[in-house]
Structure 1
């Protein structure tokens, strides 16, 4: 019979340090309140399934919102969301990352724009880098996002930001700092979500108003997943080239991802600020630099 040897003290210490590091970088929340907190209207956010899922409520009294307890610098965040069903015109369900700074904020946005019954749901993405935004793109989703849960994710590394729906890329923002174009890379960002009324712009530019007779409106979330470098946290994490999201396969889209991305842009994109000559007579520099 083999004998068990007592581990060396230094080995034990090394294992503890490594375990802590990987927990901080790779740890995933088991329940909503483990990594998130309510930021707006606690009475309108309800925990389900022991905190593994939540329901957001919008009525004539209030919308609601929540945010991560920590900020992160690079990584991937994702949530499964089931959007407001039926006549959701004038409602906006948002899932985004924000540095929460006043003048030079960085922000990465998913905004799901409600619709009249039978019309496609539109998802708007936007990128703020060093305080400059106004980079909207809009895509009509190719499925009913209120019928079931779908996964919405933001992958963020030193080379690019990729917005995906069920692992299909719908938006890529590349790092073109070498050409003098701002890229969000120095400010950690928190993870936020809100459900709110915005019928002055959300549906057909504000032509379709919210129908309060259909209220309350509900959106559902589950499978909260954050894999990134927490701030405060290990100072070396954000520059660690060994983080999976900095790997060679995440520096650009794979051939299959590029094919799917082209399909989305050709068949489902309905607005791109890069081609809006009324707003930008001169094409924005990041559009010229390429995705």
Structure 2
């Protein structure tokens, strides 16, 4: 990333469920404003996204803060942020997004840090359109001013792998089939050990939760 361009990549196909993982290392040079991302999105290429589904890992600057967000066929604003217990610019760590018809789980190094459940029966939207995979590094005013004297900023990605259900249309119902391992009964919710891991991680490292304030809280906060 420099003053003239950013960088990124996307998957060739769209998917309707699955487990998506990548190892990332963010830029070493300290600044605000640079956003290093890994996410799934239903937004079309090269046009305003409008209402869409999106599941984000976003590093805000290079100080070790990662933000997760969910766009639930609207403008998002479901941020939960974490000050990581390691320096993500010094080594690779694994960031994962798990998505099946029952729940979406965000993982860091195999530890669940966030769950967004399917509460569509209670009127909360749940991803119903196929999403492709994207990763990018770019600058955002809302993430702070960039110290361009330190450019270029380099993000590293490796060991990208996924198990997923490809679909060529927006009917993701075909991707809820039980023959995919991630849709089987034992993956419909976290097990007791994972729930305890998530509780401990959030207690130790979460710095912001949209559910914690009446002005930003949404319906699913009382259901998740």
Task: State the distance in 1 between where 2:34 and 2:187 align.
Answer: 34
| C-alpha distance in structure 2 between counterparts of 1:86 and 1:258, whole Å | 35
Q: Distance in 2 between matches of 1:262 and 1:69?
A: 36
The equivalences for 1:119-198 within 5 A come to: 120-184=63-127, 186-198=128-140
Gaps of 5+ in 1: 1-57
What secondary structure is seen at the aligned counterpart in 2 of 1:69?
Answer: coil
Partner of 1:286: 220
Report what 1:255 is aligned to: 192
CA distance in 1, matches of 2:173, 2:163: 16
> In the alignment, which residue of structure 2 is the partner of 1:86?
29
- What is the deviation of 1:60? 1.4
Shift of 1:236: 7.8
C-alpha RMSD of matched pairs (Å) = 1.9
SS at match of 1:270: strand
Give the aligned partner of residue 218 of structure 1: 154
Q: Within 1, Cα distance between the matches of 2:106 and 2:84? A: 13
Q: How many Å separate the matches in 2 of 1:114 and 1:103?
A: 25
The alignment's TM-score, normalised by the length of structure 1, stands at 0.71
Query: For structure 2, which runs of at least 5 residues remain unmatched after alignment?
Result: none
> What is the TM-score normalised by the length of structure 2?
0.91
Q: 2:100, 2:176 within 8 Å by CA — same for their partners in 1?
A: no
1:114 equivalent to 2:61? Answer: yes
How many correspondences in the alignment? 219
| CA distance, structure 1, for counterparts of residue 11 and residue 200 of structure 2 | 33
Tell me the distance in 2 between the aligned counterparts of 1:260 and 1:201: 31
2:17, 2:176 within 8 Å by CA — same for their partners in 1?
no
| Deviations, residues 113-164 of structure 1 (Å, cap 9, x unaligned) | 124xxxx511111111222521111111111111111110100000000010
Which of 175, 186, 201 pairs up with 2:142?
A: 201
Q: Where in structure 1 do 4 or more consecutive aligned residues deviate above 2 Å? A: 101-104
Cα 1:288–1:241 shift into 2, 3 Å: same
